[in-house]
Amino acid sequence: EPEVTQTPSHQVTQMGQEVILRCVPISNHLYFYWYRQILGQKVEFLVSFYNNEISEKSEIFDDQFSVERPDGSNFTLKIRSTKLEDSAMYFCASHRVRTGELFFGEGSRLTVL
């Protein structure tokens, strides 16, 4: 069964460092998302991406964050200068049509020290 894959599963970084989280969405999907979940809190929307551009972003997604789809398969989230409060599970998700179910990856745990 097709699935969304994410790497790395866990990354530990020092505050101020740049981090890139990678996702390979399901191949025929057109809409891509990043969500995050800080430990014990709700799943929060960060950004959606369609047709090679950001279609919607939340207040969390400030200038420190960027997304890119450098080729036909990868979808990346970059955090330029990590802060302690960026520590969270980051989930990539995709779906083929806008009203379809979202398929989530297993998540990338980011720990900022």
Partner 1 sequence: DQQVKQNSPSLSVQEGRISILNCDYTNSMFDYFLWYKKYPAEGPTFLISISSIKDKNEDGRFTVFLNKSAKHLSLHIVPSQPGDSAVYFCAASGLKGNQFYFGTGTSLTVIP
Chain contacts with partner 1 (rule: CB under 8 A)? 4, 6, 31, 33, 35, 41-45, 48, 50, 55-56, 58, 91, 93, 98-99, 101-107, 109
Nearer to partner 1, 75 or 107 (CB): 107
* Max Cα–Cα distance, the chain, nearest Å: 39
- Smallest gap from Cβ 81 to partner 1, in A, equals 25
Q: Which of 60, 5, 54, 18 is nearest to 37 (CA)?
A: 60
- Smallest gap from Cβ 87 to partner 1, in A, equals 15
Q: Which of 48, 45, 75 is nearest to 60 (CA)?
A: 45
User: Whole-angstrom Cα distance, residue 69 to residue 44?
Assistant: 21
Cα atoms in the 13 Å half-sphere on the side-chain side of 105: 29
- Smallest gap from Cβ 16 to partner 1, in A, equals 27
Nearer to partner 1, 19 or 107 (CB): 107
- Smallest gap from Cβ 62 to partner 1, in A, equals 16
Question: DSSP class of residue 97?
Answer: S
Nearer to partner 1, 55 or 81 (CB): 55
